[in-house]
Amino acid sequence: MQPKTLKIITVILLTLVVLSPALVAIIVVWQEHLNFMATQNLLSAMKNGQQLIERPENQTIYALLWLIILAPIGLCLGVNLHNSYVAYRAAMRQRKIKILQRMWQQQPYPEEIIL
DSSP 52: P
What's the pTM value of the predicted model, to 2 decimals? 0.46
User: What would you measure as the largest C-alpha separation in the chain, in angstroms?
Assistant: 111
Phi-psi category of 52—alpha, beta or left, where left has phi over 0 and alpha has psi -120 to 50?
beta
Higher pLDDT, 100 or 72: 100
Q: What is the pLDDT of residues 15-59, one digit of tens each?
A: 877 877 787 788 888 888 888 888 887 777 666 665 545 556 667
For the packed helices 57-105 and 3-48, what is the interaxial angle rounded to 10 degrees?
Answer: 160
**Residue (of 31, 29, 97) closest to 63 by Cα position:** 31
pLDDT category at 76 given cuts 50, 70, 90 is confident
Average pLDDT for residues 66-89, to the nearest whole number? Answer: 84
